[in-house]
């Protein structure tokens, strides 16, 4: 690893800038149509249940069993949505935003687990009422005698395990790699429970059309997962053959990794986006972490800049030139296409400078219409500062930093301070990237300063 004595060689790449500008196209987010489509699918599931339920027996057993059937159908549909949101489909990741898709995935997962638990409890209770046997005895009979129930039981247990380790308190205590590999058990759970749905579901037993729809739903989701999670990454990495060129220390605890490869401009990456990187070095090959591009992509070179906050990020400084790199992406929606007007404020905190540094160089803006506010603990922690100064001078942009005082006092980002810096801040688009605490503080200050919510663009990579 070498020290960054001068601006790193990736700066001022005309090819990289041309490529970035070529990809700037305003896009409308498909979030609302996709949500409507998801709810329409849920309505279709309810209609399927209704069409196969001429009447509900007016008994406790009848009502419980009917409720168990509808929650089972909705649970099966929610599980399909959960897997779809794990597929990393570009239309979702790039346009809706990876953080929003992650929130959808978490919400769908909670619905799926809740519906499956309700389905199991209601069905077993209803069968117990109908047979007159105790619930435990009835449960054993159902598992042992009904078709595909042993596999379904195993799949349900796996689904509950995944839901348990994904709960907020426990998730924050687990290493990312542990959580990630446990999360993959979702696929096994889906496979084991799918066949039970067709084997015992009253809606599918007598309807070839219903079975065909369910096969199409799960088959489409499976195809998307195989394509985007397996085949596309294999094709990408075989085609571009990326390797580490060198590492550069940019600031204390902050390192840039320069990555070479073939025809990297054909990756389709835009400034502001990120990849999931796997470095095939000892102790790192089983971990894939998201890091943003910190400069516009060049045909022969990419750069990421990472702050050491954990084992994986700290180990990047030890990477040897020539180390093979496996990447998935690009992902993320915090690109130039999100802007709605001419004036832009980039607000970065700590390691959040990385995607904003790439945008600072490439966002179309007239002189005086582009401002970057960089929050850090000290001047020594202002990574990539020399590059930012050169870009600001070249583009006629404004560059401002906010660091702690000599006594450690932390400068707050307030609505009044933002208005003093930019009196017309309510007419700016704001790109915000930084630690969660800074992001929340800055978002509140921006809203108080009059910036409309639709003009604040923020994306979190915390999973």
DSSP 310-345: SHHHHHGGGPPTT-BEEEEEEE-S-SGGG--SSEEE
Q: Confirm if 302 and 242 have CB atoms less than 8 A apart.
A: yes
For residue 416, the model assigns a pLDDT of 94
Going by C-beta distance under 8 Å and a sequence separation of 6 or more, which residues neighbour residue 136?
none
390: closest CA among 12, 5, 110? 12
Q: How many CA atoms lie within 13 A of 309 on its CB side?
A: 12
428: closest CA among 362, 341, 359? 341
For residue 462, the model assigns a pLDDT of 54
Q: Collapse the DSSP code of 308 into the 3-class scheme (helix H, G, I; strand E, B; otherwise coil) and give the result.
A: coil
For residue 217, the model assigns a pLDDT of 95
Q: Confirm if 338 and 94 have CB atoms less than 8 A apart.
A: no
pTM of the predicted model, to two decimals? 0.80
For residue 49, the model assigns a pLDDT of 87
Structure tokens at 177: 């790699």
Q: Confirm if 20 and 355 have CB atoms less than 8 A apart.
A: no
Going by C-beta distance under 8 Å and a sequence separation of 6 or more, which residues neighbour residue 431?
272, 334, 338, 344, 345, 346, 347, 356, 359, 457, 458
**What is the maximum span of the chain, computed from C-alpha positions, in angstroms?**
82
Going by C-beta distance under 8 Å and a sequence separation of 6 or more, which residues neighbour residue 359?
271, 272, 334, 335, 336, 346, 431
Q: What is the separation of C-alpha 417 from the centre of its chain, rounded to a whole number of angstroms?
A: 32
For residue 6, the model assigns a pLDDT of 37
| Phi, psi torsion values for 302, nearest 5 degrees | -120, 160
| Phi, psi torsion values for 305, nearest 5 degrees | -130, 125
Residue 61 CA to residue 69 CA, distance in Å, equals 12
| Phi, psi torsion values for 96, nearest 5 degrees | -75, -40
Q: Confirm if 271 and 362 have CB atoms less than 8 A apart.
A: yes
For residue 361, the model assigns a pLDDT of 94
The residue behind tokens 């994904």 is 166
Q: Confirm if 434 and 347 have CB atoms less than 8 A apart.
A: yes
Mean pLDDT by 10 residues, the chain (463 residues): 46 48 46 86 91 82 92 95 91 78 89 95 93 92 91 94 82 77 90 91 84 94 95 95 95 93 91 93 86 92 89 88 95 86 91 93 92 92 93 94 83 91 94 89 93 87 52
| Phi, psi torsion values for 420, nearest 5 degrees | -65, -40
Residue 153 CA to residue 164 CA, distance in Å, equals 16
């Amino acid at each position: 690893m070498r020290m960054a004595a001068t601006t790193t060689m990736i700066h001022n790449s005309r090819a990289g800038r041309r490529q970035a500008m070529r990809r700037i196209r305003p896009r409308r987010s498909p979030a609302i149509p996709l949500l409507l489509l998801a709810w329409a699918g849920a309505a279709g599931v309810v209609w399927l249940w209704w069409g196969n339920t001429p009447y509900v027996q007016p008994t406790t057993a009848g009502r419980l069993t009917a409720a168990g059937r509808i929650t089972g159908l909705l649970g099966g549909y929610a599980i399909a949505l959960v897997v779809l949101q794990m597929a990393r489909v570009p239309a979702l990741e790039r346009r809706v935003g990876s953080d929003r898709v992650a929130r959808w995935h978490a919400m769908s997962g909670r619905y799926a687990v809740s519906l499956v638990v309700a389905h199991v409890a209601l069905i077993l209770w209803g069968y117990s009422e109908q047979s007159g046997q105790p619930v435990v005895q009835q449960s054993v009979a159902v598992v042992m005698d009904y078709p595909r129930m042993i596999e379904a039981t195993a799949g349900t247990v796996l689904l509950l395990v995944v839901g348990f380790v994904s709960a907020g308190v426990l998730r924050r205590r687990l290493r990312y790699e542990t959580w990630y590999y446990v999360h993959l058990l979702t696929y096994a759970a889906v496979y084991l429970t799918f066949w039970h749905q067709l084997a015992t579901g009253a809606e599918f037993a007598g309807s070839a059309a219903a079975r065909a729809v369910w096969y199409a739903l799960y088959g489409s989701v499976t195809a998307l997962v195989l394509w985007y999670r397996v085949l596309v990454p294999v094709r990408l990495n075989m085609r571009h053959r990326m390797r580490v060129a060198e590492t550069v220390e940019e600031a204390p605890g902050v390192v840039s990794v320069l990555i070479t490869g073939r025809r990297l401009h054909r990756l389709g990456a835009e400034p502001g986006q990120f990849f999931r990187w796997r470095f095939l070095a000892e102790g790192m090959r089983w971990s894939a972490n998201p890091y943003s591009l910190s400069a516009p992509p060049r045909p022969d070179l990419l750069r990421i800049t990472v702050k050491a906050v954990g084992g994986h990020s700290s180990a990047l400084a030890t990477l040897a030139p020539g180390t093979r790199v496996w990447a998935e992406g690009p992902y993320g929606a915090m690109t130039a296409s999100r802007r709605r007007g001419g004036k832009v404020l980039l607000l970065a905190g700590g390691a959040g400078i990385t995607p904003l540094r790439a945008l600072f160089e490439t966002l179309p803006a007239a002189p005086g219409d582009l401002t970057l506010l960089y929050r850090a603990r000290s001047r020594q922690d202002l990574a990539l500062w020399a590059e930012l100064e050169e870009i600001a001078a070249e583009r006629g942009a404004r560059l401002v930093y906010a660091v702690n005082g000599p006594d450690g006092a932390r400068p707050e980002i307030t609505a009044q301070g933002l208005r003093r810096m930019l009196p017309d801040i309510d007419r700016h688009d704001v790109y915000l990237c930084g630690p969660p605490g800074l992001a929340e503080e800055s978002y509140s200050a921006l809203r108080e300063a009059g910036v409309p919510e639709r003009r604040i663009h923020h994306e979190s990579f915390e999973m």
